[in-house]
Amino acid sequence: MSVVDVDAESWEREVLKSDVLTVVDFWHEGCPWCIMLNPVFKEVADEYVGKAKFVRFNVLRSTKNRYVALSQGVMGTPTIAFYCGGRYVGSIVGFIPKEDLKHIVEDMMKRYKECVRQSTKLE
């Protein structure tokens, strides 16, 4: 499975404790741009299996999900956020074409390599 659905209960395990670059799609069903982005996100995820982790987070699924999204600074959907070792390293807001998303993922993968080398685990 190239995209994992995550919610408030699995957020820490799947994103904050992930030891690989994690790409999170904050979305919801009532967002037309999110619906347009879903197949693009899945196609890019399919190309990066084993290199990065791709997860979807429905911000309106529950009150707890809303809280997680707000705590991560999500102010609009779709928002794609990147996490390195559980640390936020960047995001983009709005629909993005496949080739642009791939370019940004590649850039974040380069940043991720730097992040691992320069950081220490928080205990």
- 6, 15, 24, 34: which is the annotated catalytic residue? 34
β-strands 79-84, 87-93 pairing: antiparallel
48: helix, strand or coil: coil
Q: Which residues contact 29 (CB under 8 A, 6 or more apart)?
A: 35, 58, 60
- Of the listed 15, 23, 24, 31, which one is catalytic? 31
Q: Note the residue count of the chain.
A: 123
Measured distance CA(114)–CA(63) in Å, rounded:
35
Is 31 a catalytic site residue? yes
Query: Which residues participate in catalysis according to the annotation?
Result: 31, 34
